[in-house]
């Protein structure tokens, strides 16, 4: 097996001095490609110095065909990755479409972005929490309900919401989870089948807390994009024996670039929401 952890790269060429190649780690007993390694561990980005050099190591004793294949494509792949640091890899949808469904990939990424925007609109607002919480989605036994469908929601004074779940007591745990995961910064208190939810005053601290929650929701979206990216890269890898290695690796890089475009767009949405919450122009 060829376990990759570090390969020294200088001037876009690999040093092949056998005495300098030594193994000191492995990646969960797997045999990743160079691209997978850099994608998963981001070693190239982390280790680049001012001259654009990265440092990686492989086991010198491995004389297997996998090692020869590795050196065959490694230099080209690293040149592409180094170029990517200066700008995104150009996306050729016709080329990507030879191995995966581009429209399906875009739809999957767009759904995540749309969900992020929806979560921001519904759950991260400076208006009254009662309006937001009524439409809070609650997952229960494989179905999704809005809170107002399964509970009676009222007020006790101006600063306290009362959520009566006596009609569906078995859903209380799921409701609490939905509230805590919503990013609204609410702190429900349970008394039997009733939840009491203090409505926070719109203070500077409250605004800052909502801004932090905006970042948390963005991170969830970013993880979603990574999951989608890896899903389609796995599809490509299943077809590696049917196509040229250059095409397979090029498509993997382009899938990564497409995912990054959506992550970048999501980050812009997050920054706009944070500025809104913090009262910035």
Q: What is the DSSP string of 136-198?
A: -EEEETTEEEEHHHHSEEEESSSSEEEEE-TT-GGGHHHHHHHHHHSSS----EEETTEEEEE
Nearest to 38 by CA among 61, 76, 5: 5
Cα gap 83→81, rounded to integer Å: 5
What letter would DSSP give residue 64? S
Contact in structure between 139 and 175 (CB atoms under 8 Å): no
Contact in structure between 109 and 225 (CB atoms under 8 Å): yes
Cα gap 66→38, rounded to integer Å: 18
Nearest to 55 by CA among 9, 90, 101, 118: 9
Contact in structure between 139 and 147 (CB atoms under 8 Å): no
Q: pLDDT: is 39 or 248 the higher one?
A: 248
Q: What is the mean pLDDT of residues 19-34?
A: 34
Q: Could you report the per-residue pLDDT of 217-238, keeping only the tens digit for each?
A: 999 999 999 999 999 999 999 9
Contact in structure between 58 and 21 (CB atoms under 8 Å): yes
Cα gap 146→178, rounded to integer Å: 10
The contacts of residue 137 (CB under 8 Å, 6+ apart) are 144, 145, 146, 178
The contacts of residue 9 (CB under 8 Å, 6+ apart) are 15, 44, 53, 54, 55, 56, 78
What letter would DSSP give residue 14? E
Q: Could you report the per-residue pLDDT of 87-119, keeping only the tens digit for each?
A: 567 889 999 999 999 999 999 999 999 999 998
Residue 238 CB burial class (10 angstroms; 0-12, 13-18, ≥19): exposed
In percent, how much of the chain has pLDDT > 90?
A: 39
CA atoms within 13 A on the CB side of 161: 23
pTM of the model: 0.56
Cα gap 186→116, rounded to integer Å: 19
Count the neighbouring beta carbons within 10 Å of the beta carbon of residue 1: 10
**pLDDT for res 193:** 93
Max mean pLDDT among 27-41, 84-98, 146-160, 212-226 falls in 212-226
Q: pLDDT: is 76 or 246 the higher one?
A: 246
Q: Which helix (H) or strand (E) holds 9?
A: strand 9-10
Cα gap 270→220, rounded to integer Å: 12
Structure-block tokens of residue 263: 């992550």
**pLDDT for res 62:** 42
CA atoms within 13 A on the CB side of 110: 6
Q: pLDDT: is 126 or 17 the higher one?
A: 126
Contact in structure between 160 and 166 (CB atoms under 8 Å): no
Q: Going from the N-terminus, what domains does the chain have, and what CATH number goes with each? A: 9-86 (no CATH), 98-113+204-278 (1.10.132.20), 127-198 (3.30.1360.40)
């Amino acid at each position: 097996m060829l376990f990759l952890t570090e390969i020294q790269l200088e001037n876009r060429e690999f040093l092949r001095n056998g005495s300098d190649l030594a193994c000191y780690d492995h990646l969960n007993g797997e045999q990743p490609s160079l691209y997978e390694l850099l994608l998963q561990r981001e070693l190239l980005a982390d280790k680049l110095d001012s001259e654009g050099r990265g440092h990686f190591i492989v086991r010198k004793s491995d004389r297997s065909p996998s090692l020869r294949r590795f050196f065959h494509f490694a230099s080209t792949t690293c040149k592409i990755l180094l170029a990517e640091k200066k700008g995104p890899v150009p996306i050729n949808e016709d080329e990507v479409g030879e191995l995966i469904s581009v429209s399906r990939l875009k739809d999957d990424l767009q759904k995540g972005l749309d969900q992020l925007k929806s979560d921001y609109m519904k759950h991260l607002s400076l208006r009254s929490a009662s309006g937001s919480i009524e439409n809070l989605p609650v997952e229960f036994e494989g179905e999704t309900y809005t809170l107002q469908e399964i509970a009676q929601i009222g007020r006790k004074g101006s600063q306290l919401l009362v959520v009566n779940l006596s009609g569906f007591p078995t859903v209380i745990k799921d409701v609490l989870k939905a509230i805590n995961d919503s990013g609204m910064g609410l702190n429900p208190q349970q008394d039997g089948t009733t939840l009491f939810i203090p409505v926070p005053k719109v203070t500077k601290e409250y605004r800052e807390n909502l801004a932090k929650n905006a970042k948390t929701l963005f991170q969830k979206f970013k993880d979603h994009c990574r999951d989608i990216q890896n899903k389609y890269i796995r599809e490509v890898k299943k077809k590696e024996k049917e196509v040229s290695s250059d095409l397979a690796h090029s498509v993997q890089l382009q899938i990564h670039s497409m995912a990054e475009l959506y992550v970048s767009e999501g980050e812009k949405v997050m920054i706009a929401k944070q500025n809104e919450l913090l009262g910035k122009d």
